[in-house]
Each structure stands twice: as structure tokens, then as C-alpha cells.
Amino acid sequence: MTKGKTALLCLALAAACAAPAAAEEDLAKIYSDASAQWLDGRPEDAAGSLKYVVYRSSDQALTAAALRDLAVLLAEAGKNGEALAYLLKGEILNPEDFFIQFEKGWNLVSLEKYQDARAAFEKSLTLTADQDLASQARFAMALAEAELSGPSAAIEDLQSVYNRYPYLLSPSAELISANLERLKKRPHAVNFLKEALSYDPRNIQAEIDLARLYEDSDFYTPAWQTYYTLSDLDPEEKFFGDKEKKLRKNVTGQMDNLLYWARMAWPAHKDPVPQSGPRVKVGLYSDQNGVPSLLKSFSFISAGDFDLVDSRLGRILSGKGGMQWSISYDELNRVYEIKDSMGSAAHTTTNSVRIVPKAAGGVILIKNPDLPGAHGVNRGDKEVAGELTALIREKGFWLINETSAETLVSPVAASLSDGSKLPEQLKAIAVATRTRLTRLARLNSHESREYDLCDSAHCMAFAGLQEESTVSAAAARDTRGEVLMAGESLAPADLHRACGGFTESGVSDGGRRLARLTPFNFYTNTLKGPPDGLLCLADDKTTSSDVYWTLLLKPRWIESRLNRTHKIGYLRALVPLARDPEGRIKAMRADGTAGSAVIEGASAISEALGAGALRSTLFSIRPVFQGKYPAFFIVRGIGTGDGKGLCLLGAHGLAKKQGAKYLDILKHYFPLYKVRKSR
């Protein structure tokens, strides 16, 4: 054989040997591309790529990975039969895989093959010693058991989870309640729904079920209170509004006093509050969009003597401290009436009126504000310092408080810390709060120029000076003037309640970092409980719903919200589309019998799923069917808030568990910003 022929033969052999490796390498890239398609909001394209890998790959590990991801995507889309077919193929490859059996069980429940589902869950329990996974399997098995052996058997399984596993407390209590109701044990069912809400106050489905159960049990006052809460949360839901109006007729006593608004007899602050730093105007009783609610009337008590100033006529009269006055709008005569402490008419006007304490920083208690038509607004009594203006508007007025921004720092920080007594945590929050308030006041982020800040979460929620604590006051005083700077500009200084492991910018609070973000890896991360040492996790794990949470959302209410703006008909699936690099959902598609709709943005997604009560967009979701339509959607989420900036519960963990000082806490969450004294 010539040298030329020998060389050609060697090249041919080398190419033949390299071909399988090249093919496998290409399939690995296709698999990687599938994850990118999924993150980019193309789950169908991702599923197509994964199917190709499954059919073409001879690499068992690659095939198994693709099968797992594919099963997750198909289950999310409500394609349970197809998902089951791929899981059976996965079972052949690895019959001892917990997740294959676990996912088989869930899909079989949706296909109403309860006997097979129970068998799959029972087998999965033999394949893991992980308490998180075992609890998830037992929780799921209770759904099958309820159909096979009845509610008593289901309750037995659920009690096991309820008593041993803190991260499924709320949904377990919810399902126990549903099964107790089937057994005609309504009082016990009510108690478990109340338990569900005590473990997760944002469990809107438990709130809805509790309202119905109260009414069915002829508990009219708590039924009215609960429907009032729901109608306040979701004012466009006619069902809640109609129920509230109907049940109102059975309620005796002053209705406002039967609700959850704070009521105060006298100002908590007797002495004037020191005024320093820039002056701001705060729009009070603002809605989620930052617009002050229209008031018809309110009462007030000034802690010290005050003047009343008509915007056109000037000072009209003076009043003594400690006396209750009122201002109201007379709709018949279209005038504003001021009454003194004896209930006598003191002044009538068509102009705005200012209440001006004679001592700078004097405190005024606003009592019993009448806010007809306002929803999602804290209607509680509220202490403010400085001047208070009743600003005329058509058929009512706004309340505007002119004060110093520094006055707000302590009470806002106290509210954000949930009454924490850790000085270093409060100092860190005080600096971030001061920075954010000062920056927002300069941004002109409201349409009206009558005020700089609002008292709702649109800016920073301010319930009143009465929220201040001794520790928060000391923290504000000790950090007075300190702000976070990004170069020569004020930093955004965002805050959120619980990151669940990582902030949006990637700051670690001891979370579980995924090697790579794939449909299966993300889904299983929401199944697992939080890792040990997570900073934002409290020592009492029963209070963990801010960090790891699970909701069982019935489609009826989601359909109702979506059909107001999109005609989707009956809901069949809620398919996550684009996600950010941490897994937060940026867009979601609702598939219904009459069409589909794409929901974009965290606010719109939260509004659609939970009337704004959804904790975060870092969650997995899938339908669980009963017949042709979902019985509920199971949502497993991580964290509360958008993950930006300072993690409030993480700051608590740093201060308590690691003894961190406030400057260290701020450096941890804002590594690119510097703390400086404001000019």
C-alpha cells in the first residue's frame, strides 16, 4: 500500500471514529440550547429540542437529563399523558430515580389514575431519605388517598406532613380543612383554614375558602370581615363585593371597629418631633399607584396648640392641644365644615385648610378617616408631625402632610423590621430608608405636584409615627444624615423582605446555587426546603412562608381576573415564558378554552394569580387536573419581593447570627455603594 493510500485510510478511520463523538457533542449543544430557549420564553421550542435529544442520544446521562426537563415542561403545559409517556421511558433507564416516580405520581393524579398514582408515590418514598422530598411525596399522596380511601385516610397522611414539615404547613392545613369539610366537620375545618392563614397570611385561596365556610356555618360577622378583606384586595371581583354587601346587613356595631384598621384614642407622641433635613410633602392614605384617596371627613387631635389657616383668608382660628376637632365635606352644599371639640361649627369654607401646630414638629393624630371607594388602602388612624393640609378636590379632599424626610425614617424602619430590637439591623434599614425617601422625593415620581412622597408601598409604606420603637428611634438618631451614594448620586437603595438565598444582583445569603438553570433543576429547587444557614430564615421554621411557600390556587378566580381584560374562557394551563438568570418569571401565558393571553411583568403576574398578593415571581407552577380542567394550580415559590437591594430578613440574620455591624450589612447588600453624610 502506498503512503498516499495509507494516509487516506487513516483519515477515513479517524473520521469514522470521531463521528459518534461529534454527534454526541452536537446533541449536548442542542440540550444546552433547549435551556436557553426555555429561559427566552419559548417552552414549545425547548420541548422540541429536548424530544430530539431523547430520540437521538445514546448517552444515558444526557437522555435522562433531557427526559426530566421535558417531563417538567409537559406537565406545566397540562400535557400529562405525554409527560407520563416520557417518564415511563425514564423509568426504564433508571427505575430507582425518586423524581421519576414522584413526577409519575403527579401526572397520574391529573389523569385520575389514583391507584397508580398512590403506588408511584409509595415507591418514591422508598427511594429517598431526604425529609424535604419525602414530605412532598406524602403531601401529594394524600390527594390520591382522598379519592381512593376517603377523607379520613387523606387527613392521616396530611397530618404527618403538618406535624413534621414546616415548609408545607399552610397548604397541608388547607387540604386538611377541605377533607374535614367533606366529613361534615365544619368547625374543625374553619380552625384549620385559620391555621393556614396564620402560617401564610398571603394564602389568598385559604382566605376565599374561609369566607365561604364562615358563611355556610352562619358565622355572619367573620364572613363579612373576610369578604370585606377580599373585596378590598380584589375590588373588581363582583362576587366578593356582592357577598360583602349582603352580609353587611347582619353585622351589628360600628363596622370600622370590626375591621383590622388601627384605632387610637390619643396621640402616642406628646412632644414635638425634631425637624431636620429637607422638607417633603407626603400624600396620605395613598393607593398602590401612589395617589392619595379622596376623603369625605376625618377627626384630628393635635398634641399641642394649633392654628387653622384658610388658603385664601389666612389664619381663621386657633385650637387647644388634646381636643378632638373634625373636618368634613358637605356634598349637598359643596362646602367644607370644620367643627370644634364640642361639635359646633367653627368655620365653613370652599378653600383648602392647613392645620399648623404652634410648635415646630408638633404631632397631629388623624382619626377615623372616611375614604369611600378606596381599596387596598390602610385606613387606620395615623400620627404625623408638622403641618397637615386638607387639600380641596372635587367632592372631597386629600390629606397632605408637610414634614421633614428625617421624621419618617424611624417609623418606616420600625415597620420594615417587624418590631425587631436588633440595633445594627435597624441602623442598616434606617440608612437605606433615608436614602430611598430622599431620592424618591427628588424624582417627582407622581403625576400631581401637590406632594413629593406617598405613604403606600408605591414609595415606602408609612402607617404613622406611632409605629416608631425605642430601637428604631435610636437607630435613626445614630445614623442621622447617613445615606448610600453611587458615585456622586444617591443610590436607589431598594429593599425587599426575603431574597430566599440570593438577591437579584447575585449577593448570596447562603442560598443553594444551581449548577445550571434548566426546567428540571429550577423545579426541584422549589421542592427542596431552604438550606441550613440561610440568613433570611428565622429560627422558628413555622414562620418561613416569607422564604419558601406553596399555594394551591383554584382556577375560578384566576379566570375571573383574566377574563376582565382577555377572553380566555376556562383556564387549562399557566405556562411560564421568559425567566431572568435567577429564574424569576418575566412573562406567563394563560391557555384557556377561548384563547390564550400573555401576562408580562411582575405586577401583572401577581395581580392575575393572587390579586396582588403573590409574594414573588420566583416560582414553579403546574395545573393539577380533575376531569378536563384543573382543580387547582400548585405554585411553589421562593422569597418575598423583587430581590433588589437590601434583604430585610437577611439583615436580621446577619445582625443576629453573625453579629454584623450596620456598615457591614450595608456593604454586604450594596457592595458598590458608599455610606456618606448627606450635604
What is the dihedral angle through the alpha carbons of 261, 267, 268, 272, rounded to the nearest 10 degrees? 130
pLDDT at 219 over 70: yes
Question: ∠ CA 583-589-591 to the nearest 5 degrees?
Answer: 140
The answer to whether 177 and 196 are in contact (CB under 8 A) is yes
pLDDT at 133 over 60: yes
pLDDT at 23 over 60: no
pLDDT at 13: 36
Q: CA 406, CA 399: separation in Å to the nearest integer?
A: 20
Q: What is the number of helices (H) and of strands (E) in the chain?
A: 21, 24
Q: CA 388, CA 248: separation in Å to the nearest integer?
A: 33
Q: CA 475, CA 472: separation in Å to the nearest integer?
A: 5
Any idea where the domains of the chain sit in the sequence?
A: 33-248, 279-486, 519-638
pLDDT at 3 over 50: no
Grid cell listed for 157: 397522611
pLDDT at 14: 40
The answer to whether 516 and 467 are in contact (CB under 8 A) is no
- CATH T-level topology, domain 33-248: 1.25.40
**Alpha carbon 107 to chain centroid, angstroms:** 28
Tens digits of per-residue pLDDT, 600-649?
999 999 999 999 999 999 999 999 999 999 999 999 999 999 999 999 99
pLDDT at 81 over 90: yes
Element (H, E) at 241: helix 238-248
pLDDT at 208: 98
| pLDDT confidence band for 679 (50 / 70 / 90) | low
pLDDT at 312 over 80: yes
**Alpha carbon 367 to chain centroid, angstroms:** 29
pLDDT at 253 over 90: no
**Alpha carbon 604 to chain centroid, angstroms:** 12
Q: Which has the closest alpha carbon to 285: 346, 167, 366, 218? A: 366
DSSP per position, 262-311: ---SS-S--SPPP--S-EEEEE-SB-TTSPBPPBSEEEEEESS-EEEEET
Q: CA 239, CA 242: separation in Å to the nearest integer?
A: 5
- Judged by DSSP in three states, 461 sits in coil
Element (H, E) at 525: helix 519-527
Expressed in angstroms, the distance from the first to the final Cα of the chain is 89
User: Beta 306-310 vs 353-357: how paired, if at all?
Assistant: antiparallel
Q: CA 605, CA 120: separation in Å to the nearest integer?
A: 33
Q: CA 154, CA 137: separation in Å to the nearest integer?
A: 13
The answer to whether 433 and 412 are in contact (CB under 8 A) is yes
Position with higher pLDDT, 261 vs 179: 179
Q: Is 386 left (phi over 0), alpha (psi -120 to 50) or beta?
A: left
Q: Give Dmax over CA atoms of the chain in angstroms.
A: 121
Q: CA 225, CA 247: separation in Å to the nearest integer?
A: 9
Q: CA 172, CA 180: separation in Å to the nearest integer?
A: 12
pLDDT at 105 over 50: yes
For the sheet containing 596-600, what is the strand order? 571-576, 587-592, 596-600
Q: CA 622, CA 63: separation in Å to the nearest integer?
A: 23
Secondary structure letter of residue 530 according to DSSP: P
Lowest mean pLDDT among 6-15, 149-158, 171-180, 382-391: 6-15
- Judged by DSSP in three states, 94 sits in coil
pLDDT at 17 over 70: no
The type of residue at 499 is: C
pLDDT at 21 over 80: no
Grid cell listed for 223: 364572613
Please tell me the total number of residues recorded for the chain in this structure: 679
Question: ∠ CA 439-442-446 to the nearest 5 degrees?
Answer: 105
Tens digits of per-residue pLDDT, 427-468?
999 999 999 999 999 988 899 999 999 999 999 999 999 999
pLDDT at 25: 60
Tens digits of per-residue pLDDT, 368-423?
999 998 898 999 999 999 999 999 999 999 999 999 999 999 999 999 999 899 99
Q: Which has the closest alpha carbon to 229: 214, 211, 217, 213? A: 211
Grid cell listed for 608: 392575575
The type of residue at 575 is: V
Tens digits of per-residue pLDDT, 480-538?
999 999 999 999 999 999 999 999 999 999 998 888 999 999 999 999 999 988 999 98
Q: CA 196, CA 450: separation in Å to the nearest integer?
A: 43
Q: CA 184, CA 384: separation in Å to the nearest integer?
A: 50
| pLDDT confidence band for 119 (50 / 70 / 90) | very high
Question: ∠ CA 61-67-71 to the nearest 5 degrees?
Answer: 150
pLDDT at 678 over 90: no
Q: Which has the closest alpha carbon to 526: 549, 510, 546? A: 549
pLDDT at 546 over 90: yes
Tens digits of per-residue pLDDT, 280-302?
999 999 999 999 999 999 999 99
pLDDT at 1 over 50: no
Q: CA 649, CA 638: separation in Å to the nearest integer?
A: 13
pLDDT at 230: 96
DSSP per position, 52-93: HHHHH---HHHHHHHHHHHHHHHHHTT-HHHHHHHHHHHHHH
Position with higher pLDDT, 26 vs 16: 26
- Residue in the structure block whose three cell numbers are 404625623: 384
